Amino acid sequence: QQQVKQSPQSLIVQKGGISIINCAYENTAFDYFPWYQQFPGKGPALLIAIRPDVSEKKEGRFTISFNKSAKQFSLHIMDSQPGDSATYFCAAHTSGTYKYIFGTGTRLKVLA
């Protein structure tokens, strides 16, 4: 019940295309869903986050879509660029607790 299932494991997209990464969870106590971006040799860095009271959040080319009834959320990267090539992690967290549950990561490669 504490897991966050992330797919796909890897993704190859042409420059200018849309990258979509999906995550699913079971625990309805989660109330904060961040996405982290990790470049090789670096630590994960917060990219964008959402709370379940909204269905979508957009920041530039990055959008989180949230489906509370299906317990799923996804990251959309519009107009994908080679510089977006990185590993992306979804995560889930419950306010008032100390634990973040991370997905297993998606390695994105954007071809020039």
Partner 1 sequence: NAGVTQTPKFQVLKTGQSMTLQCAQDMNHNSMYWYRQDPGMGLRLIYYSASEGTTDKGEVPNGYNVSRLNKREFSLRLESAAPSQTSVYFCASSGAPYIAPLSGNTIYFGEGSWLTVV
Residue number, 12 or 45, with CB nearest to partner 1: 45
Cα gap 29→3, rounded to integer Å: 12
Residue number, 95 or 112, with CB nearest to partner 1: 95
Residue 16: CB minimum distance to partner 1, A? 29
Inter-residue long-range contacts of 5-8, CB under 8 Å, 24+ positions, other chains counted? 5/103, 6/89, 6/90, 6/103, 6/104, 6/105, 6/106, 7/106, 8/106
Residue number, 91 or 110, with CB nearest to partner 1: 91
Binding interface with partner 1 (CB under 8 A): 6, 9, 31-32, 34, 36, 41-46, 49, 51, 89, 91, 93, 95-100, 102-105
Residue 94: CB minimum distance to partner 1, A? 8
Residue number, 83 or 96, with CB nearest to partner 1: 96
DSSP label at residue 32: B
Residue 95: CB minimum distance to partner 1, A? 7
Beta strand 33-38 with 86-93 is antiparallel
* R_g over Cα of the chain: 13
